[in-house]
Amino acid sequence: KGGRERMVPLSGAAKAVLSAHYAARDRNRPSRWLFPAASAAGHLTRQAFARDLKDLCMAAGVDPSAVSPHVLRHAFASHLLAHGADLRALQKLLGHADISTTQIYTHVLEERLKQTVAAHHPLAKDRSRGR
């Protein structure tokens, strides 16, 4: 997005999958792209990725309207925050120029914190049972 490149670390599992994908590519049609395509761009475009993601959702029995590249990005950010990631590190991973853009993702964490307190704190429990 925005034509900016950034480096994002990959897990060992992600590296293994990408290595297998790369090894299985058509060697008769070399490309500098990780995901080459026969399109004018020469690579998998954002639009094609979104379309392919919808197709995969339908094949898996998942509502395609509930999944998009942006939803995946949001889930990535929310999972990192929920498990203690630093907001500045997340800003860099997402490529946000302004930290206030990254702070949008904290609302999910705040809501989860409220739910955690409501579910587990003894003073937040329902007192209507005479306790």
Q: What is the mean pLDDT of residues 57-77?
A: 95
Q: What is the mean pLDDT of residues 101-114?
A: 83
Q: Is residue 4 within 8 Å of 95, Cβ to Cβ? A: yes
Cα distance between residue 81 and residue 62, in whole Å: 25
Question: Position of tokens 């790369």?
Answer: 22
- Measure the CA angle with vertex 16, ends 14 and 17; round to 5°: 65
Residue 70 has pLDDT above 70, yes or no: yes
Residue 113 has pLDDT above 50, yes or no: yes
Radius of gyration for the alpha carbons in the chain, expressed in angstroms and rounded: 20
Residue 131 has pLDDT above 50, yes or no: no
Q: What is the pTM of this model?
A: 0.72
Phi and psi (nearest 5°) for 53?
Answer: -65, -40
| Assigned token pair, 7 | 């480096």
Residue 13 has pLDDT above 80, yes or no: yes
Higher pLDDT, 6 or 57: 57
- Measure the CA angle with vertex 124, ends 120 and 125; round to 5°: 75
Cα distance between residue 85 and residue 103, in whole Å: 12
Q: Is residue 36 within 8 Å of 25, Cβ to Cβ? A: yes
Residue 99 has pLDDT above 80, yes or no: yes
Average pLDDT, the chain: 88
